[in-house]
Structure 1
Amino acid sequence: MQKRAVVTVVGKDQVGIIARVTNVLADHNMNIHDISQTILQDYFTMMMIVEMADKNRLDDLLEAFEAVEKDMNLTISIQLEDVFQAMHRI
């Protein structure tokens, strides 16, 4: 069963952020349903809704994102969509 997740990326703006993050998603066979990104002063922010074929591989994805975070000094998080929605209800 397909599950959706929310990926957020924040860090100092620099060349290649979108390329590195989306390459990790492609390597893990994840489709991007929606994407929004902006630059706030010198800071890059991006939020994506992605479709996961196998939510059991979430740990592998997080490990791959750790390398990107370290190399590019970013903060990347991923949460299953239902968990994200539950956390952001008023």
Structure 2
Amino acid sequence: MSKQGIVTVVGLDRIGIIASVTFALAEYKLNIIDIRQTVLNEFFTMIMVVDVSASTMSFKDLQAKFAQLGEEQGLQITIQSEELFRGMHRI
């Protein structure tokens, strides 16, 4: 069974957002399992379920790397473990 994470990306729409995020995913050895993205007016939003089992990085390190990429790109990029995400959204 693969270990999964949830990646979210939000920011003003522009060319290259998906390219910069997916380049980072490949660099950190994260595989996209499912992806949804849309543009609402000028706001880009994307959520992905990713397989993190091949990555050697901890979630804490991944969170720091994606936060840094978000700052560099003018975006908000987060990653959470699937277990944490499910726990936070249980009724």
TM-score interval w.r.t. the shorter chain?
0.7 to 0.9
TM-score (structure 1 length as normaliser): 0.88
Unaligned ranges ≥5, structure 2: none
What does the per-residue CA deviation read over 1:60-84, in whole Å, with 9 as the maximum and x for residues that have no partner? 3223223321222111111111110
Deviation track 1:31-86 (CA, whole Å, cap 9, x = no partner) reads 10000000011100000000012475223322322332122211111111111011
Query: What number of residue pairs does the alignment pair up?
Result: 90
2:51 matched to which residue of 1?
A: 51
Partner of 2:10: 10
Could you say what the CA RMSD is over the residues aligned between the two structures, in angstroms? 1.7
Task: Give the structure-2-normalised TM-score.
Answer: 0.87
What is the distance in 2 between the residues matched to 1:66 and 1:84?
Answer: 17
Tell whether the 8 Å contact from 1:3 to 1:55 is kept in structure 2 after alignment: no
Greater CA drift, 31-40 or 50-59? 50-59
Q: Structure 1: any 5+ residue segments left out of the alignment?
A: none
